[in-house]
Structure 1
């Protein structure tokens, strides 16, 4: 799931990448990347692939991450769950928590750690 979010984030920021670039970045096969792209497409993310010398993977230009797919309470619950997970696995969770907090326009609140 984390990889899918990161793929969307990469496509939003870079515009176009190749399956090879993504497979190297995530240390998975290109076939796994294509399965991820299929999952994103099924979820309604408009992923576009183009073959050839200047080809690659991109999102349709008019695509933006629509925060309204989730209610405000659902957004807060996702952030809370990620904050709880961050206490156990900070390295794996901090980056996605920061990105989703920004996407949801929520202020990331500190989770108190036991002494």
Structure 2
């Protein structure tokens, strides 16, 4: 389910600091393209996702970002 995957991505990014699209794709058993679409969805929801290319690159959430609990209410 997409919402479970989105919350999982947020959790991984907040806990690990940085990860890669291939890792997330393998972890959630989806394609890299699906992960990139999910990251776009998170950005549109106001979560400051940062991507860096290259050998030391990856995906992270802007330093100092705190998850707003109102995002988790129904």
Superposition TM-score, scaled by structure 1 size: 0.59
Larger radius of gyration: 1
Residue-pair matches, total: 72
CA-to-aligned-CA distance 1:26-83 (integer Å, 9 cap, x gap): 010000000000000000000000000000000001111111x26xxx84xx5xxxxx
1:63 aligns with 2:65: yes
Q: Secondary structure at the match of 1:48?
A: strand
1:8 aligns with 2:16: no
Q: Secondary structure at the match of 2:26?
A: helix
Partner of 1:37: 39
Higher relative contact order (CA 8 A, sep 6+): 2
Where structure 1 has 5 or more consecutive residues not aligned to the other structure, the ranges are 79-115
d(CA) in 1 for partners of 2:9, 2:57:
17
Higher strand share: 2
Runs of 4+ in 1 over 6 A off after TM superposition: none
